[in-house]
Structures are given as C-alpha cells and as structure tokens.
Amino acid sequence: MNRVNLAVAVLALLVLVLVSAIAVVEVKHQTRSLFLKLEQLQAERDRLNTEWSRLRLEQGALATHSRVERMAREEFELEMPAGEDIVLLRLPQAGDDR
C-alpha cells in the first residue's frame, strides 16, 4: 500500500506541476497582450496630445482680435458706428430701486 500512496503522490505532484506550467504560460501571454495594448494606448495618447496642442494654436490664431475685426470689415462689411450712434444701457443692480 505504501507504493500506491507514493504513486498517487507523484501523480498528484506531476498534475500540479503541469497545471502550474500552463498557468505560467497563460499569465505570460496575458502580460504580453496587455503590454502591447498599453503601448498602443500610449501612442494614441501622444497623437491626441499633439493634435490638441495644434488645435489650441489654431484656435488662438483664429480668435485674435485683429483677425475678427478684419473679417467683420471685409467679409461682413461692418464698420465702427459714429460716437453719437452709440447708446450705453445700464442694467439695474440687485437692490437698486431705480
């Protein structure tokens, strides 16, 4: 009976070693897959950061006061009103009785 117990123990250890080896291979594969995904996401992040910087520069260039004023004059034919045509309106403040 002693030999049978030894054989069962050896067989159990062999099964555990095989399961452990398969688990190591699986974890290694998952690690590589996740690392590739991480590199792809970092590359996309860098691309998006570059595009964001370019868009901020473009927005700054498009929103300059001189460009807006030039477009108003040239494209929409707007002009500054004369001083007597300007009317200032005061909005009542909170607690104002006027």
For residue range 4-51, list pLDDT tens digits in order.
899 999 999 999 999 999 999 999 999 999 999 999 999 999 999 999
What is the domain count for the chain? Answer: 1
* DSSP line for 5-18: HHHHHHHHHHHHHH
Q: Give domain status of residue 90, yes or no.
A: no
pLDDT category, 92, cuts 50, 70, 90? confident
User: pTM for this one?
Assistant: 0.54
Mean pLDDT across the chain: 91
Q: Give domain status of residue 89, yes or no.
A: no
Range(s) of the domain holding residue 72: 2-79
Q: Give domain status of residue 20, yes or no.
A: yes
3-state SS track over 42-73: HHHHHHHHHHHHHHHHHHHHHCCHHHHHHHHH
